[in-house]
Copies of this chain bind each other. A is one copy, B any other.
Amino acid sequence: MLIRPLEASDRKAVQAMLAGCGAFSEEEVTVALEIFDSGEMAHFGAEVEGILCGYVCLEPVALTRSTWHVYWLCVDASCQRRGVATALMRQAAEFARSKGGERLVVETSGRLDYERARRFYERVGFRQVGRIADYYKPGDDCVYYCKLLD
């Protein structure tokens, strides 16, 4: 597996990964592509056998000294359960750390079909720090996680 920064020319692959992940609504895919196009966040992709099959994006949180927000983590369904998300999150943590980051924050859904995502965050060192009921929509809570970097 090769982890590398994404470039503008990877846009089609990003779109394919978002669609292939199966977790995101059309609106979420649109927002993720807007974020990619803006060039404002750091994006890293994972290549398996030369094909991009997942990516992560993150940025430092304004008005904080050393907190980074991981906005998007996406792995194509065909490549799941192969350690891609773990490798991407390790890269995100190392990148933030290299820029002085001391913690990563993620927001994810409390829905039943996000159970695997939440377990993933806990497995790679995140701890639940908050929850807002019905945040995304009725029955769809926001769960906040934080991971300390060392």
Interface residues of A (CB under 8 A from B): 27-28, 31, 61-67, 102-103, 105, 129-138, 144, 146
Contacts and interface: CB of A to CB of B under 8 A. Distances in A.
B63 A102 contact: no
Contacts of A66: 137
Given A65-B136, A129-B131, 20 more contacts: A28-B63, A31-B62, A31-B63, A61-B135, A64-B136, A65-B138, A66-B137, A67-B135, A102-B134, A103-B132, A103-B134, A105-B135, A129-B130, A130-B130, A130-B131, A130-B132, A130-B144, A132-B144, A133-B146, A144-B144
A105 B103 CA distance: 22
Contacts of A27: 63
Report, nearest first, the 6 A-B pairs whose CB atoms are least far apart: A130-B130, A65-B137, A129-B132, A130-B144, A132-B146, A64-B136
A103 B129 CA distance: 20
Contacts of A130: 129-132, 144
A28, A62, A132 pick with most chain B CB within 10 angstroms: A132
